[in-house]
Amino acid sequence: MIADLLLTLLDLGGTFVFAISGAVAAVRHRLDTFGLMVMAFAAGNAGGMTRDLLLGAVPPVAIAQGAYLAVSVAAGMVVFLGWPWVQRLAHPVLWMDAIGLAFFAVAGSSKALAFGVAPVAAVLLGVLTGIGGGMLRDVLVGEVPVVLRADFYASAALLGAVVVVVGPQLGFSVALSSVAGGVLCFFLRAMAILHDWHLPNALRLRYRRADDKSAGNDA
């Protein structure tokens, strides 16, 4: 019972913050009120709906339970009515994305485990739940999805989901594993935003070597 409540809270929390990110993107691209609400619902629920369909949990909870629509609309209204305050935040989409990613990575992998799927599949479903809403949001406004632009995005969700799945097998409680996985996911994404963390990249290594060679010649 407590585990089900925790999963629902994580799911709704992720829905709310991703819906805010979708609404912010809608305002920035000058969509009307209806477009804003569509973006809020799409960003907030795409990842969870995809997860539920793959698990065979139909209809997805985002459709079966009105709370998900209500939370999405509430998030849209927060942005619509509070835009003068929201736009003062530095990179609001990135930070809402980071919070939502942590919530959904934990919720997705936890729900997958509850349905009895294999650990590796549970991790992958946690990642899919985390990145799905942001991908659809970016596609709808004609941008390259952030998961393809930010190195520590899917990677952060992956590591967070691994902690959620592996923790109970090592003897840690489900609650502790969930908290640790969510904190790790958010920490990695936050550090990537603040300090421009990147995974190794062929072009980046090439330019670095070229710069080092140029510096050596100058010396």
Structure confidence by residue, pLDDT tens digits, 161-204: 999 999 999 999 988 999 999 999 999 999 988 887 766 665 55
| Amino acid identity at 169 | Q
Sheet strands (E) in the chain? none
Q: Which 8-state DSSP code applies to residue 142? A: T
Q: At what angle do helices 92-114 and 33-55 cross, to 10 degrees?
A: 30
Environment class of 86 (CB within 10 Å of its CB; exposed 0-12, middle 13-18, buried 19+): middle
The ranges of the chain with pLDDT < 50 are 215
Whole-model pTM? 0.85
Residue 18 CB coordination number (10 Å): 34
Are 162 and 197 spatial neighbours (Cβ–Cβ below 8 Å)?
Answer: no
pLDDT of 181 reads 96
Q: Which 8-state DSSP code applies to residue 151? A: S
Cis peptide upstream of residue 59 (ω within 30 degrees of 0): yes
The pair of structure tokens assigned to 7 is 């999963």
Domain span holding position 33: 2-218
Are 98 and 184 spatial neighbours (Cβ–Cβ below 8 Å)?
Answer: no
Domain count, the chain: 1
Closest CA to 43 of 133, 132, 105, 135: 133
Are 47 and 108 spatial neighbours (Cβ–Cβ below 8 Å)?
Answer: yes
**32 Cβ contact partners less than 8 Å away, ≥ 6 residues apart:** none
**Signed CA dihedral, 105, 111, 114, 120: sign only:** negative
pLDDT of 89 reads 73
**Signed CA dihedral, 25, 97, 39, 149: sign only:** positive
Q: Which 8-state DSSP code applies to residue 152? A: T
